[in-house]
Chain A
């Protein structure tokens, strides 16, 4: 019962997002086309007549609103997200071509970030008030003040250029030929380190603080005292009693974390010229490729909302108290 209503809730959200996506360009002051042909705006791309035609057809601005809406919705269901002006290809195709790199980046980063965040958050809470805790706290709070793009730039400069340990752009070395699959994997990993590190470092604050607070809350609970009264070791109590309880809110947070990671990736991929969807978005904004822009927006939003849904479902399964509703 719980799950069904959650599902409807998310479907409603999806519907709203799709509608926002539809109404946005039509509601904004001045239609997008006028902006593109405005001599005052500095758009690098040239808009030819042909492209204007495509845009007009895409937006169907000559047809009545309701018809546009229905066409739009039907198109979405059929997987038609429009035609990219700049890349001259279907929007969906352009996005999917870039998807794997973003998945790789966000996937690895999330895994590392969650693990690290939990570990140091728990360590901090356990050592509450002592030097280790204060030190970690100040360190993490300070690091979190760095916007991800600035952090990326710093890493590029120090590790990429000054020390020259890691490459500073791309997902793989351009035009490389590999003598073995391991070599290719190594090259990919080599390119992955700095962007992933940037994503992890710039977002770890959230999980760390949440884990720390959650753990502190748990440590103050009576059942921890019961565990101590049984003579169990501190380490055992941490692992078997405290962690399980403290981790529950992290699960829901992980969905939000993925959301932050995905938005963070927009900046990180840009800084590192990593060929994922984030970088695509940057270029799209630069060239004002509206169909592609909206397609990416839709894609990202659906992905994040989907992650939320999964996290909610997971939480229901994990907390024994909730199961028996």
Chain B
């Protein structure tokens, strides 16, 4: 069981590294400029490995550059969400009155369904990468704040916090030296979960047509494919729909595996003596 965990985590990490490399080296790897138009709806050939879409863009290049968009959005949103979420979580856990207020806000926003609100907001604004990032940030920090606060409350009950106070440690010192290190593993797991959600949400939004039409993410490519009336005819879907979809799938898979591998390391409730015999 321990081995299973590590194997999964390693596979996940490998996948993510591959995508990261593609994203970083995109201009060097992509055969063409994704906005350059060639003959539309071409089948895969030696010149266009994945063929071209309905306006003649090389699909492979679109996907490679799309990696940049999808990963960039996910990364930026996750990093900022973690910083904001952790900070607010720490403050909320440590200072009670402020914490109460913050948690009310968190509760309200967690109860409101994410996607419908995101869709509505997105349809009111000009679609662009930074706008999308802003929208996702509205919700990204919530869960992290709640989890971190909960952990801080638990940690506070432990005697050594009081002991440190007794010997004169300031609140800042306590937060930094004692609480933060315990909180880091949780943040890492949340980071991965948030990244997963963002990738799925962003591709979903783009699929609905709300993504950035210029910096085309995988979701946008799928959107165009779906909107094409002859998509199911003569196997066009094979090189226009499957590849972008699979890119999304593998990225999320990589993240999920890594997240899962890390989660089991941290959750104490999964006692090792829990078992069931043959039924």
Contact A145 B252 (CB under 8 A): yes
A-B contact pairs, 8 of them (CB 8 A): A13-B111, A20-B117, A35-B124, A125-B274, A129-B4, A144-B256, A149-B226, A153-B237
Residues 179 to 231 of chain A near chain B (Cβ within 8 Å): 213, 216-217, 219-220
Q: Is A288 an interface residue (CB 8 A)?
A: yes
Contacting pair A281 B119 (CB below 8 A): yes
Given A154-B245, A220-B273: A297 and B116 interface contact (C-beta under 8 Å): yes
Given A25-B124, A297-B119: A308 and B274 within 8 A (CB)? Answer: no
Which 6 pairs of residues, A with B, have the shortest CB-CB distance?
Answer: A220-B271, A126-B276, A220-B274, A129-B1, A219-B274, A150-B245
Q: Tell me the complex Cα distance, A297–B241, Å.
A: 29
- In angstroms, Cα B112 to Cα A24, docked, is 15
Question: A-facing mask of B209-251, CB < 8 A → 1, else 0?
Answer: 1100000000000100010000010000100010001001110
In the complex, what residue of chain A is closest to B210 when comparing beta carbons? A285
B133 to chain A, nearest CB (A): 16
Nearest-neighbor residue (CB-CB) of B12 within chain A: A141
A267 at the interface (CB under 8 A from B): yes
Interface residues of B in 243-279 (CB under 8 A from A): 245, 248-250, 252-253, 256-257, 260, 267, 269-271, 273-279
Q: Which of A55-84 contact B (CB under 8 A)?
A: none
Interface pair B276/A128, CB less than 8 Å apart: yes
List 9 other contacts, CB 8 Å, given A24-B124, A145-B253: A129-B4, A137-B260, A149-B207, A150-B249, A153-B245, A154-B245, A266-B115, A285-B210, A297-B120
| A263 neighbours in B (Cβ, 8 Å) | 113-116
Contact with B along A1-37 (1 / 0, CB 8 A): 0000000011011001100110011001100100100
- Contacting residues, chain B, for A177 (C-beta < 8 A): none
Contact with A along B53-73 (1 / 0, CB 8 A): 000000000000000000000
Is A286 within 8 A of B209, CB to CB? yes
- Interface residue from B1, B210, B276 paired with A219 (Cβ < 8 Å): B276
A253 located at the interface, meaning its Cβ lies under 8 Å from any Cβ of chain B in the complex: no
A-B contact count (CB 8 A): 157
Q: Is residue A127 within 8 Å, beta carbon to beta carbon, of the partner chain?
A: yes
**Which B residue's beta carbon lies closest to that of A122?**
B276
The segment from A101-109, A298-306, A315-323 found at the interface with B is A298-306
Once A145-B252, A149-B222, A234-B278 are accepted as A-B contacts, the answer to whether A217 and B269 lie under 8 Å apart by CB is yes
Q: How far is the CB of B199 from chain A (nearest CB, A)?
A: 9
Instruction: Answer yes or no: B200 CB below 8 A from chain A CBs.
Output: yes
Decide if A308 touches B111 in the complex (CB within 8 Å). Answer: yes
Nearest-neighbor residue (CB-CB) of B252 within chain A: A145
- A residues 100-158 in Cβ contact with B at 8 Å: 125-129, 134, 137-138, 141-142, 144-150, 153-154, 156-157
Given A147-B200, A153-B245; A285-B253 close (CB under 8 Å): no
**B-chain residues with CB within 8 Å of residue A147 when the two chains form the complex:** 200, 203-204, 207, 245, 248-249, 252
Q: Is the CB of A235 within 8 A of B270?
A: no
Contact of B120 among A138, A267, A294 (CB under 8 A): A294
Is A17 a contact partner of B232 (Cβ separation < 8 A)? Answer: no
A127–B269 touching, CB < 8 Å: no
Please give, as numbers and ranges, the residues of chain A lying within 8 Å of B121 by CB-CB distance: 24, 28
Q: Which residues of A contact B241 (CB under 8 A)?
A: 153, 157
Q: A13-B108, A32-B124, A282-B208 are in contact. Are A301 and B113 (CB under 8 A)?
A: yes
Q: Does A238 contact B (CB under 8 A)?
A: yes
Cα A297 to Cα B121 in complex, Å, equals 10
Cβ-based interface call for A259 (8 A): yes
Residues of A within 8 Å of B245, CB to CB, are 146-147, 150, 153-154
